[in-house]
Structure formats: structure tokens, C-alpha cells
Amino acid sequence: MNRRTLYEVLATISLAVAGLGGILAGAGAVLQQVISVAAATLCAFVFLIPGLYFLAYARRLRSRDLALAHAAAYAVTRGTLEVSDLAAELSVSGEVAARILRTAVREGHLRGRFDEHGRFVAEPNTPARGDLTP
């Protein structure tokens, strides 16, 4: 299970428990059970805050994966890529662009290497991440 899926599952569970706490708080209010309302409301808030955090983190991971896939596609279409070209494409510094390429290689979005001149040479026919073809 990848990290993004894990955080999406955690967010779903946390937000579901928070929603259930909200429903129980509403039921306690209808039945005029002050202690029950307080306990259910506290439970809802305790699970709501981490649930929202997990959801936001999963979305950031999704955006990160999309950015890495974009950088990988850009590198593959160029074949041999000057890091400064990728830096200009992504509007980041050259150091950050090189780190993005290394991360894309490490996480399987891209295959290739840096040559002795500091250029990135992408391997042709790089399969997409999660592709099942040999």
C-alpha cells in the first residue's frame, strides 16, 4: 500500500468517526442528554482535526506524484535534458530541478542517469509507474 492510499484510508476512517460523533451529538441534543452531547461533540472534534490533516496530506501527495510524473514525461520527451531546461519549465532553481529528477528516478517515475556534464539522460521506453508490462 502506498503512502497516499494509506493517508486516504486514515482520512476516511477519521472523518467517518467524526461524522458518527456528530450524529450522536445531535441525537443526544434531541434527547436532552447534556453529558452525551458533550462526549459525542468532543469525540467528533478529536477525530475531525486529524481526519482533515490526513485528507490534506493525501492531496499534497497526489499533487507531488503528478509533478513527478510531469517532470518524468518532460525528461523522456527530451531524451537528454539540461537541468536548467527543467528548472525553467517548472520555475524552480537548478538544484531543486536536479532533486526532482533524482526523486522521480528513486520512486520509479523515470529511468535514467546524470552524465559527466551534469545533464540527465533518460532511458527510452520508460514504463509508466505501475505499468505491468515487462
Domain of residue 64 covers 3-122
Q: Is residue 128 part of a domain?
A: no
Q: What is the pLDDT of residues 6-39, one digit of tens each?
A: 999 999 999 999 999 999 999 999 988 899 899 9
Average pLDDT over residues 45-61: 95
Alpha-carbon span 1 to 37, nearest angstrom: 37
Q: Is residue 117 part of a domain?
A: yes
pTM of the model as a whole: 0.71
Q: How confident is the model at residue 128 (pLDDT cuts 50, 70, 90)?
A: low
Q: How many domains does the chain have?
A: 1
